Structure 1
């Protein structure tokens, strides 16, 4: 056999819940192959697992109590998708797959409740198609290929996503000899963002101390939570949390003592999984902003904000230049072609592998556009207020890839919007004349 491979129809192998996963298995061989059948399977699910060392007690042969350490495994699995079909079977008893290029199309329906593909340190959510060619008296030939699933998380229907956020913190710097009060007010224009957006951070500083303020810095953190149990018992569920820095920004300010000033930071949201929650894995985000002074003790101030990462950007934003009418971003469609959606998306849904004469896929009204519905551009405020059509996202590999059991490390792809209009920094109360910036 010269080649056995799986090819997906969707660009970048990205699909959406409720959509049909379509593609083909290709076998190229110069001579006929002795084989009984070709099986195509699809699987998708979440899995968590880790080991912990725990102290145990037992009675030894002398009747004395002693302690020992035992390694305990915790794991959990949630299956979202399972399906299989025989794409080819020897009908004449000769067990021969013809020489040449053999193509076997397939189609599987995704459930509508699929969480996004995700690779974490204590768990993963993975989706894959795998094939097995049964060969008598030889090892079966197998192949597996992962694909990405990205649910539509529309920030426009999340009430808190558009809310501005402001937080203030004050500190009397110095340990014994107090150097004076430093106050930092941090403002964000909203809570919800999509990958590719620029997040502007406004920092107002009132340096009432005797030491200069040196730097301001921001860090965006991915907070992932994993749940698992030991053995078959679900009464003793254990939890693991992990933090991962996904973005940083820093600026030297050198604000002199007894002065006030303002600084701006910005951070581009990278290709990361949208916020989500499933029974055994959840992911959310926060951003922390810190201010550093020259004080040796107690010279750092910190504020923190929760963030929401979605896949469809907020359309209702600040007014455009020259217009009093708020800008409206048109809803964008994914760059993937409009594959038909299989109704219901039940687990283990219809499978149509076989020859090129496979039956047509059922279509739901609206097709794939029902995942990311499209809308015509809106032009508020006349010509000056015309909003350009927001470009569709690209689908870029995640910052982090997990190691699959029997293939190359897999990095899921997520939608990234690289050309969205930039948010206006949040407006804070005006300050007196600024110095040191």
Structure 2
């Protein structure tokens, strides 16, 4: 039987299986036989699908949707005039090549959905079951952070009163700013912030980088937030003020932002928070865009990249899931406390 004669049936890409929109995907199908065999056809099918699956408990409905990004078919070997092709024992290679569309969703794996791409090949032979092989590949939708919108600084101010029952005990305010919105994984974000604590209790500031996954189906949304890394500052004493002059938080290896997919969005934010006594947490949220093209040397921003993490290289963000417990770093401040009505300079050490 032919099934017993097939020693190897696999897909080999010509380059690492990581491609951008519009790139040409090429490779070969390798078929190794232990003896002469007759073959009807070898068919290739390249597919890309964005899937969402989630439950909305409020209306007891389960939503699912598939969006097709890629659907290409090609026959690598077919019978002429209905005659079968006889292949000799040994290794046979069948090259293939196809071009990806210009706008594709970046490969992604989430709790309620995914964006996946693969090549599937079927071997058809008489009087035998169809033999199949499949291999996935990664697609990146480029995001260039070197645009005016993503290079512009962004800041926000918020305050909240501390209460015990109906009595006020002062308030806590946060002023936070980052030098730009667009970053790439591996870079360090310097966070500039001022914390004014006029309450009788100390507070501890913390900064988070959060990934926000949004799954969309027929107008229904399902969101999931994942903290990818945190940085904790020193305590701000009662009736005191503290300032951060570029407290550094490093971006781990994460998937780029996905902003133009119909069913899945992946966005990021930097959150600077303190727990206010007697009430809920006070947070300032600054949007982030995770790009694929690093900051040009001519950029006028103060932060620099600390890793050469080009997306054409090792796709660590696909190989490693985001940890349930993010790594928490301590922001080291040598002289961070100032009196309420005076200002004192201080130094912030960068993370090692």
TM norm. shorter chain > 0.5: yes
Paired position in structure 2 for 1:9: 14
Pick one of 299, 303, 324 that aligns with 1:317.
299
Q: 1:72 to 1:111 in 2, by over 3 A?
A: same
Select the structure that is richer in strand: 2
In structure 1, what is the equivalent of residue 267 of structure 2? Answer: 284
Q: Does 1:200 align with 2:200?
A: no
Question: C-alpha separation between the residues in 2 aligned to 1:180 and 1:434?
Answer: 25
CA apart distance, 1:52 = 5.1
- Provide closer, same or farther for how the CA distance between residues 146 and 156 of structure 1 changes in structure 2, counting only shifts above 3 A: same
SS for the counterpart of 1:242 is strand
Does the 8 A contact of 1:260 with 1:434 survive in 2?
no
The answer to whether the 8 Å contact 2:180/2:301 transfers is no
Q: Could you tell me the TM-score, scaled by structure 2's length?
A: 0.79
Identify the residue that residue 77 of structure 2 maps to in structure 1: 88
Query: C-alpha separation between the residues in 2 aligned to 1:16 and 1:80?
Result: 13
Contact 1:202 1:262 in 2 (8 A): yes
| 8 A contact 2:19–2:138 mirrored in 1 | yes
Instruction: Work out whether residues 207 and 232 of structure 2, in 8 Å CA contact, stay in contact via their aligned partners in 1.
Output: no
Instruction: Give the C-alpha shift of residue 311 in structure 1.
Output: 1.1
For the residue of structure 2 that corresponds to 1:395, the secondary structure is coil
The residue aligned with 1:28 is: 32
Change (3 A) 1:246 1:396: farther
Cα distance in 1, alignment partners of residues 252 and 194 from structure 2: 23
Deviations 1:20-74 (A, max 9, x none): 111111112222334311111111232333455687xxxxxxxxxxxxxxx7553
> How far 1:169 moved relative to its partner?
1.8
TM-score by length of 1: 0.65
Distance 1:131 1:299, change over 3 A: closer
Q: CA deviation at 1:399?
A: 5.4
Please state if 1:243 is matched with 2:224. Answer: yes
Counterparts of 1:50-69 in structure 2 under 5 Å? 50-51=54-55
Matched position secondary structure for 1:398: helix
| Cα distance in structure 2, aligned partners of 1:109 and 1:203 | 47
Residue 397 of structure 1 corresponds to which residue in structure 2? 316
For residues 161-240 of structure 1, what are the structure 2 equivalents within 5 Å?
A: 161-176=150-165, 177-213=167-203, 215-228=204-217, 237-240=218-221
RMSD: 3.2
CA distance in 2, matches of 1:144, 1:433: 63
Partner of 2:235, secondary structure, is: strand
1:148 CA displacement:
0.8
Change (3 A) 1:39 1:223: same
Aligned to 2:151, what secondary structure does the other structure show? coil
Equivalent residue number for residue 119 of structure 2? 129
- C-alpha distance in 1 between matches for 2:76 and 2:280: 67
Alignment equivalent of 1:301, drawn from 282, 286, 291 = 282
Structure 2 CA distance, aligned partners of 1:299 and 1:127? Answer: 43
Query: Do 1:49 and 1:74's aligned partners in 2 also have CA atoms closer than 8 Å?
Result: yes
1:433 is matched with 344
Question: Does the aligned pair in 2 maintain the 1:174–1:299 contact within 8 Å?
Answer: no
Query: Structure 1, residues 175-222: CA drift from partner, whole Å, max 9, x if none?
Result: 245332222211111111112211222221222221122x22222222
Unaligned runs of 5+ in 1: 56-70, 229-236, 321-326, 330-389, 403-410, 412-429
Q: Select the structure with the greater relative contact order (CA < 8 A; seq sep ≥ 6).
A: 1
Task: Name the count of aligned residue pairs.
Answer: 317
Structure 1's 225 and 254: CA in aligned 2 closer, same or farther, altered over 3 A?
Answer: closer
Distance across 2 between alignment mates of 1:115 and 1:259: 48
Which secondary structure state, in structure 2, belongs to the residue aligned with residue 160 of structure 1? helix
Structure 2: gaps of 5 or more residues: 1-5, 323-340
Residue aligned with 2:111, SS: coil
Give the whole-Å Cα distance in 1 for the aligned partners of 2:164 and 2:248: 29
Counterpart of 2:127 in 1: which secondary structure?
coil
Residue 138 (str. 1) matches residue 128 (str. 2) = yes
- Do the aligned residues in 2 keep the contact of 1:130 with 1:142 (CA within 8 Å)? yes
**Cα contact 2:210–2:229 (8 A) shared by 1:** no
| 1:74 corresponding residue in structure 2 | 63
